[in-house]
A and B are shown apart, each in its own frame.
Chain A
Amino acid sequence: MASTRVNHRVGRILAMAGKEVLHIRRDIRTLYLALAMPVVMLVLFGFGISFDVDHLELAVVDQDRTDLSRELVRQVTASQEFVVVQDGTSPDEAVGALRKGTAMSVLLIKKGFAEDVKRGGAQVQLLVDGADGNSATQALAKAQALVEMAGRKLGGPVRVAAPPLEARVRTLFNPDARSAMFLVPGLAAYLLAIVAVLITALTVAREWERGSMEQLFATPVGRLEIVVGKLLPYLGIGLLQVLLVLTVGAWVFDVPVRGSLVALSLGSVLFLVGMLGQGLLISVVTRNQVVATQVATMTSVLPSMLLSGFIFPIENLPTPLKLISTLIPARYYVATLRGVLLRGNGLDVLWPQLVALALFAALMLVVATRRFQRRLD
């Protein structure tokens, strides 16, 4: 008797899921939104959003005009990270170029540079446009490294005029400091959050709008069966999205998978269930596709971008936003992805993130199911 009841329940869940698959197959826009959009956006964002600094415009003020000073400029610009846009100008003209924005940095080689190199120590001065803080910081670091490397090749230490303390820094997990390595995991979480919440919110709200909920409620199907049946196909699509995004990340951006696949799978399932539950809750409350889209955007797109650590480090957020970010599941998924992909972490390290994702998923499903009454009022 009990097993018959369970069989009927499973049958109804599968019926709901099968119907949803038919809807998805018939509506190419949903499939595009679900599969193509994350990949297209990943590629566009991955190439578009980059904190890497390259081809920096450099104004050279070479007051020494010796073979060694010219060789230094050649060495510094050889990698194309700096490109000479002005050469042989006076210091005033070079600073003017900085002001106008035609140059991002100025390399000042004072007279006597070659002799200083031969004596065993020379200094050059680097001026950087600080209006773009990120580029300025990276330009300074790159210039320091390039000048010091060039100095070794020239036969004597050459330093960018700097404070007496020098820190020797080594970056782990992303030694080349490539933005893609940092961004792709964050971007993956962000895109999955949008798509999962949006699609679920839309599909369930559509049932209310076109009245099919009335027909469903007149059948023996239970609300949990409706919820699970409707979410199952989107969970499958979501997991397919994760695979696609990771494949594109590895193939296009060389983002590795160094850590535990179990942690990755578990984190992905929990995150997706939470996001699908959030979408369901939105649709249950709004019962309207337009409003559901707006609410889904407000509650998934913005927080997943701004408060997940995807772009802005959570440590740098003001305390109130930092507290709010603890409620954003994307924060934990971004941390899980970066942990697994870049740091090679496993369950032993990532369990707090997974517990947070599990709690959010459970909360969303319970609240959504409770709010989802089998009535039209």
Chain B
Amino acid sequence: MSTRPEVDVSLEDVRRAFGAAQALKGVSLAVHTGEVYGLVGPDGAGKTTAIRLMAGLLLPDAGHVRMLGEDPANTRSSVRESLGLVPQRNTLYGDLSVDENLRFFSRLFGLSKQDFAERRERLLDITRLGRFTDRRADALSGGMYKKLALACALLHRPRVLLLDEPTNGVDPVSRRELWELLYGLVHEGMTLLVSTPYMDEAARCHRVGLLYSGELIAEGDPRELARQHGAAANNFEAVFLALVEKRDGGRAA
């Protein structure tokens, strides 16, 4: 007997415009519990808008957004206690040290001193930031900064983690380390939604949604999508280009 997977995050026919620019044009997607969902698309595709809608930082013009069964934009909702967000921009406090940033966010999430001490130790260990606790955040390298942002978002052990282009501007070694870290979190039962402009990262996800010009042009298992388009599993760029060509060609016709 097959069981229907539980949905942690969903967008239903969501539209969102900024002035005359349509950032999302009726996007529907669902992220299942315990999976790594990749929102893949080029710059300007609407990835950041979609993530901000999921985090309740923006309101949709139309459609519905659900996060763990709740409307994330509802300020009375408790969803933020179960949500972690790593924004695309460097949004931590650059003049605060690694430790001060961790401590600050732990207090916002209401962690006790004992819980903080335990989680700090573990997060510093898995992010390998233990040697840099006194270093100011703006003095960290790009990769270390992303790891700190990830650590801050993981302090309260969220059920869902939204990562907006976490590997952007990060060197290949740090990218690999970050992905290993993310797999480790999924093994602990966390649901991950990762946006990325890098097609090669699609293969690392359980499922992907290909976002192009505000529309979700394909969704599914990346290996299955590659097979359908006759591409090698590690050549997702070819899949994406074929889909874009098909979508633009169809429209022209």
Contacts and interface: CB of A to CB of B under 8 A. Distances in A.
Nearest to B158: A218
A218 B104 contact: no
A120 interface: no
A220 interface: yes
Interface string A183-211: 00000000000000000000000000011
Interface string B44-81: 00000000100111110000000000000101001011
Interface in B205-225: none
A211 B91 contact: yes
Contacts of B105: 219
A351 B175 CA distance: 64
A148 to B, nearest CB: 66
B89 interface: yes
B87 interface: yes
A18 B104 contact: yes
A376 B59 CA distance: 9
A15 B104 contact: yes
Interface string B91-119: 11111100010001101111000000000
Interface residues of B, number: 33
A305 B78 CA distance: 47
B39 interface: no
Interface residues of A, number: 29
A19 B109 contact: no
A218 B81 contact: no
A47 B59 CA distance: 56
A220 B58 CA distance: 16
Contacts of B199: none
Interface in A3-58: 8, 11-12, 14-16, 18-19, 22-23, 26-27
B24 interface: no
A217 interface: yes
A137 B92 CA distance: 61
A219 B57 contact: no
B31 interface: no
A215 B91 contact: yes
Contacts of B52: 214, 376
Contacts of B55: 217-218
B93 A23 contact: yes
Contact of A11 (B75, B85, B110): B110
A219 B95 contact: no
Interface of B: 18, 52, 55-59, 73, 75, 78, 80-81, 83-85, 87, 89-96, 100, 104-105, 107-110, 152-153
28 contacts: A11-B107, A14-B107, A15-B107, A18-B104, A19-B100, A22-B93, A22-B96, A26-B96, A27-B95, A210-B90, A210-B91, A214-B91, A216-B108, A217-B55, A217-B56, A218-B55, A218-B87, A219-B109, A220-B78, A220-B108, A220-B109, A220-B110, A374-B57, A374-B75, A375-B58, A375-B59, A376-B52, A376-B57
List 4 tightest A-B contacts by C-beta distance, closest first.
A15-B107, A218-B85, A215-B91, A211-B91
